[in-house]
């Protein structure tokens, strides 16, 4: 069974860069129909797709966040990463990583990691 | 951006009852819709994709229907483990989610 687990600091200062790692176990990151994504949920708001990466390094970003986001992958270590720069309080959210099947829906998720932006 | 609107925000029901959750897209998305179940402390669980295809190991009491802009998730006989938050998500143009419907005990 595929499992995903988010890790990273739970507190980030305003204007700093948020950095998260998703570690995948139970399967490779190189499936031809498998993409890897970050999603977040801020208090009182719907889930928001942030970015997606393919094992070959192709990346896709939410246009609303694209200027501040970088997603990357290290398939040999079964990890993919999120960096979100110039954070503000509005970036406080639970950040989840997920496998995106066929570039469509999200069939395996991590439990999520709360990141608070505060000085 | 395609906006997904779910109703009601909270649905109160009892075990054994039939429940119907609604999801509306702001534009035609065909059948590019998924449903998820989310319980506190757990990862979201994919229930339905392609508007009506059950994901692996999802009980038959869960069914999805609809196309275009209006979609429904039906639980034919609510079980105690089904009290949770349910989200819809479109994948026609980028990926956006509804606000969620909470199924709670009456």
Write the pLDDT tens digit of every residue in A30-73. 888 999 999 999 988 999 999 999 999 999 999 999 999 999 99
Which positions ≥6 away from B38 have C-beta within 8 Å?
B44, B45, B84, B85, B86, B87, B100
Distance CA A72, CA B16 (A): 46
- Identify the pLDDT of residue B64: 98
Taking each continuous run of H as one helix and of E as one strand, the counts in chain A are 0, 11
Distance CA A1, CA B45 (A): 13
Q: How many CB atoms lie within 10 A of CB A97?
A: 31
- CB contacts of B43 in chain A (<8 Å) are 4, 96, 108-112
Could you give the dihedral angle defined by the CA atoms of residues B89, B91, B96 and B97, in that order, rounded to the nearest 10 degrees?
A: 0
Distances (CA, A) of A50 to A87, A93, B62: 14, 12, 29
A46–B32 CB contact, under 8 Å: no
Q: Average the pLDDT over B22-36 and give the result.
A: 98
* Inter-residue contact A4 to A109 (CB < 8 Å): yes
Distance from CA of A102 to the nearest CA of B (A): 11
Distance from CA of A1 to the nearest CA of B (A): 12
The H or E element containing residue B12 is: strand B10-13
Task: Compute the 3-state secondary structure of chain A and give helix, strand, coil in percent, each to the nearest 5.
Answer: 10, 55, 40
Q: Does A74 touch chain B (CB under 8 A)?
A: no
Name the average pLDDT for chain B.
97
Distance from CA of A107 to the nearest CA of B (A): 5
Q: How many CB atoms lie within 10 A of CB B66?
A: 19
> Is a pLDDT exceeding 90 seen at residue B98?
yes
> Is a pLDDT exceeding 90 seen at residue B41?
no
- Identify the pLDDT of residue B99: 96
Q: Does A47 touch chain B (CB under 8 A)?
A: yes
B4–A46 CB contact, under 8 Å: yes
Structure tokens at B93: 């143009």
Name the pLDDT band for B69 (thresholds 50, 70, 90): very high
> Is a pLDDT exceeding 90 seen at residue B40?
no
Distances (CA, A) of A107 to A34, B9, B52: 10, 24, 15
Model confidence over A10-33: pLDDT tens digits?
999 999 999 999 999 998 888 889
- Identify the pLDDT of residue A31: 86
Distance from CA of B16 to the nearest CA of A (A): 27
Give which of B14, B27, B25 is closest to B88, Cα–Cα.
Answer: B25
Select from A49, A96, A105 the Cβ nearest to the Cβ of B34.
A105
* Inter-residue contact A78 to A18 (CB < 8 Å): no
- CB contacts of B100 in chain A (<8 Å) are 46
């Amino acid at each position: 069974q595929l499992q995903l687990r988010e890790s990273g600091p739970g507190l980030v200062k305003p204007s700093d860069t948020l950095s998260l790692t998703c570690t995948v176990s139970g399967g490779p990151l190189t499936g031809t129909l498998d993409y890897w994504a970050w999603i977040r949920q801020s208090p009182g708001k719907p889930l928001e797709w942030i970015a997606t990466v393919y094992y070959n390094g192709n990346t896709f970003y939410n246009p609303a966040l694209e200027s501040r986001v970088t997603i990357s992958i290290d398939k040999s270590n079964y990890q993919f990463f999120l960096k979100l720069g110039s954070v503000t309080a509005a970036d406080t959210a639970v950040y989840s990583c997920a496998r995106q099947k066929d570039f469509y829906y999200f069939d395996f998720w991590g439990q999520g990691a709360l990141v608070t932006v505060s000085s | 951006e395609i906006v997904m609107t779910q109703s009601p925000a909270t649905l109160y029901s009892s075990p054994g009852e039939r429940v119907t959750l609604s999801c509306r897209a702001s534009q035609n998305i065909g059948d590019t819709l998924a449903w998820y179940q989310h319980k506190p402390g757990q990862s979201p669980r994919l229930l339905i994709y392609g508007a009506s295809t059950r994901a692996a190991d999802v009980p038959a009491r869960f069914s999805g229907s609809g196309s275009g802009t209006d979609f429904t998730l039906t639980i034919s006989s609510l079980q105690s483990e089904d009290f949770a938050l349910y989200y819809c998500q479109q994948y026609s143009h980028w990926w956006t989610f509804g606000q969620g419907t909470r199924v709670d005990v009456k």
